[in-house]
Copies of this chain bind each other. A is one copy, B any other.
């Protein structure tokens, strides 16, 4: 579905994988003013807290997820001059190396695109209701939230 200027924000919570080039093309479709696109992609790592991880299970709170992401994006739009934004987060079962999350931001100015993409990721990490359960050699284990993530999000207030 093409993004128009009135629908400059795409939020998708999905099981299936995404393709970076397709997402960036969508962000830039009929959008010749924004010369800069910054993306963040998070992948399933093979280690966490010293344990070998074989995969992840991702749960979310449908409805609140979308609402919290919308609020984060609106904050970013107020802070920086950005064009379009896409946030994709996968849920369900994922294996090592698979893509988990995508944030893409376009702008006329690369500084704004970099800042907004990092801001959205930092707030997604502490405000969007997703939970990861790791499948490790010692069985299933819900991930603990990291204090470093809270600090990282708080940095934007200073």
* Cross-interface CB contact of A36 among B33, B42, B111, cutoff 8 Å: B42
Contact B37 A43 (CB under 8 A): yes
Please state the number of chain copies in the assembly: 2
Stretch binding the partner chain, chosen from A20-28, A65-73, A84-92, A133-141: A20-28
The docked-state distance in angstroms from the alpha carbon of A152 to that of B114 is 13
Contact A35 B39 (CB under 8 A): no
Range, interface on chain A: 20 to 34
Interface membership of A44, Cβ < 8 A: yes
Mask: chain A, 8-48; 1 = CB below 8 Å from B; 0 = not: 00000000000111101000100011111111111111110
The docked-state distance in angstroms from the alpha carbon of A99 to that of B112 is 19
Shortest CB distance A147–B (Å): 14
Interface membership of A110, Cβ < 8 A: yes
Interface membership of A121, Cβ < 8 A: yes
Point out the residues of chain B lying under 8 angstroms from A21, CB to CB.
19-22
27 contacts between A and B (CB under 8 A): A20-B20, A20-B21, A21-B21, A21-B22, A24-B41, A28-B43, A28-B97, A32-B45, A32-B47, A32-B96, A33-B46, A33-B47, A34-B43, A35-B45, A36-B41, A37-B42, A37-B43, A38-B39, A38-B40, A39-B41, A40-B110, A40-B114, A110-B118, A110-B121, A111-B118, A111-B152, A114-B117
